[in-house]
Structure 1
Amino acid sequence: MTKRYKSTALAALHESMQDLHDIGVVDQRTMRKFDESCLVPVAEFAPDEIIETRNRAGVSQAVFAHYLNVSVGSVSKWERGEKHPSGPALKLLDLVRRKGLEALA
């Protein structure tokens, strides 16, 4: 997955800082601050948006869960609003919403 930046200038700055981090000049805490400043945050999903994304893909909860590498129960709870996706699952949901389920296949 490619990173999405707020601007091209911030992309250049972030990539330079990432290079410095890779060689050990910049610590992890500083890198996290740069991530927050430069990267576009992944939007949260409302339950109806998750249902719409899954329905647009034309798959069941079980198949959708398989592609996202989560349990069927998690997808069910997200769609009922009992829990909210986070971390890698949230990023994958965003990718599926933008590019379709084929992006994960």
Structure 2
Amino acid sequence: MSAKTKFKSPAFEAIHSAAAGLFSVDAIPQETMRSFDTACLSSIKDLQPLEIKALREKLNVSQPVFARYLNTSVSTVQKWESGAKRPSGMSLKLLNVVQKHGLKVLV
């Protein structure tokens, strides 16, 4: 794991580190390592519709420009901001990255 990996707590980091060591010497299977990943790593933060709109406005971009950066449609951004749809998967991860680092990471 990289130094930027976020763990739920220092205890979970220690547990994950031990499991990663066991995995590296083939003492545990990949399926078990995935279970440790799920249990120990912090999850992606859900964003509420108002948070998505506030993020876009903070970045001072229009819905079409925001959609272009995120490689999605204007309609999708509108639905996220109105609460008609919720971002998930890679879209949610990308929004979290943009929230933390700004649009410059996408350029």
TM-score higher than 0.5: yes
Identity in percent: 43
Q: How does 1:10-21 map to 2 (within 5 A)?
A: 10-15=12-17, 17-18=19-20, 20=23
Match of 2:6 in 1: 4
Match of 1:31 in 2: 33
**Alpha-carbon distance in structure 2 between the residues aligned to 1:80 and 1:97:** 18
Contact 1:47 1:78 in 2 (8 A): yes
Runs of 5+ in structure 2 lacking a partner? none
Match of 1:100 among 99, 102, 106: 102
Q: How does 1:1-105 map to 2 (within 5 A)?
A: 2-15=4-17, 17-18=19-20, 20=23, 25-28=28-31, 30-105=32-107
- Aligned residue type for 2:71: N
4+ residue segments displaced more than 6 Å: none
Q: Which stretch of the first structure deviates more once superposed, 77-86 or 65-74?
A: 65-74
The alignment's C-alpha RMSD in Å is 2.6
- What's the CA shift for 1:9? 4.5
What TM-score, normalized by structure 1, do the two folds share? 0.78
Aligned length: 104
- What's the CA shift for 1:16? 5.3
What TM-score, normalized by structure 2, do the two folds share? 0.76
- What's the CA shift for 1:96? 1.3
